[in-house]
Amino acid sequence: LLGQLDTENEERLELRLLTDDSFIEEFDTIVDEITDQYVRDELQATERQQVEQYFLKSTERKNKARFAAELLRAADERADEVADTSVKPVVPSKPGIFERLRSFWKTQSFAPRLATTVATILILVGVGSLFRTSTPTPENYKTINLTISASNRATGSKPETVKLSPETAGIRIELNLPNQTEPAKGYRVELKDEQEASRDLPVKEWNAQSVIVEVPANKITRGSYLIHLHVMNPDNTEQRIRGSYSFVVE
């Protein structure tokens, strides 16, 4: 397919193409896969060059590539629509730790309450002194580098995971811009949690390749998140970049 076979192997391949229907089918499937990889820009530079010089020489293959480009775009658009319209089932929320503590507290008599209060104060003082020695600094931001994907939270690949420890001040998120992104006046970064609640994150810096945002650790909880990136056009209009970035906080 890329013109790399020697004469003997080429002959063997061609004879199979002339005799074996299932081999023709396999051959066609591989042609489709190479075409998709070319259109998706997933090939290495040398492979890409071979594809352009050999594989895509005929009009049939060029048409195939045009068709593939359109098909893949339609597939990505559908994934985007599914991601945008996905409705999460409403699950009754479990009582939080404070609610549970409050209900426990109400059931106790005075003496245990006093003992608990004293113990709590002592624990808080102890924890406070521990934290004084290891206060998170801006350098303690964990950096994750995310690439945009057409997949949604439900069907996508395993997203980037970031583990937060007490020393972690927050997360520094570097969003790689898609290759074809036009020069922009600015960006708006929208963070969506599992309940689809969204909020904007302030943009720290951006350049032609990426947009960087930071989220303090106390402003984010465990769970999976999606980021939608919006481009601010020079005419002050806003346009969402197709696809989303996803990550999980543990």
Q: Interface with other proteins by CB under 8 A: which residues?
A: 1, 11, 14-15, 17-21, 24-25, 27-29, 32, 36, 38-40, 42, 52-54, 56-67, 69-76, 78-79, 149-151, 155-157
The single-letter DSSP state of residue 152 is -
Closest approach of other proteins to the CB of residue 14, in Å: 5
Provide the minimum distance between the beta carbon of 16 and other proteins in the complex, in angstroms, as a whole number.
8
Q: How many residues does the chain have?
A: 250
In three-state form (DSSP H/G/I as H, E/B as E, the rest C), the secondary structure along 35-63 is: HHHHHCCCCCHHHHHHHHHHHCCCHHHHH
Asked if 173 and 214 count as a contact pair (C-beta separation under 8 A), the reply is yes
Taking the least distance from each CB to other proteins, the nearer of 26 and 200 is 26
Rounded to the nearest whole angstrom, what is the least distance from the CB of residue 214 to other proteins in the complex? 27
Q: CB nearer to other proteins: give 57 or 204.
A: 57
Return the number of the residue (53 or 117) whose C-beta is nearest other proteins: 53
Report the half-sphere exposure of 234 (CA within 13 A, side-chain side): 2
Cβ-based nearer residue to other proteins, 27 or 206: 27
What Cα–Cα distance (Å) separates residue 51 from each residue in 8, 31, 83? 22, 11, 33
CB nearer other proteins, residue 21 or residue 139 = 21
Residue with tokens 């580098």: 145
Q: Which is nearer to other proteins, 40 or 185 (CB)?
A: 40
Helix (H, G, I), strand (E, B) or coil at 160: strand
The strand ranges marked E within the chain are 141-147, 160-162, 170-176, 186-192, 198-201, 203-206, 210-216, 223-232, 238-240, 245-249
CB of 210 to other proteins, least distance (A): 19
Considering beta carbons, is residue 7 or 133 the nearer one to other proteins? 7
Residue 177's CB is within 10 A of a number of other CB atoms, namely 20
> Which distant-in-sequence residues (6+ apart) come within 8 Å of 40 by Cβ?
72
Minimum distance of other proteins from residue 77's CB (angstroms): 9
Q: Cβ of residue 110: shortest distance to other proteins, in angstroms?
A: 58
Taking the complex as a whole, the smallest distance from the CB of residue 159 to other proteins amounts, in Å, to 10
Residues in CB range of 172: below 8 A, 6 or more apart: 141, 142, 143, 144, 204, 212, 213, 214
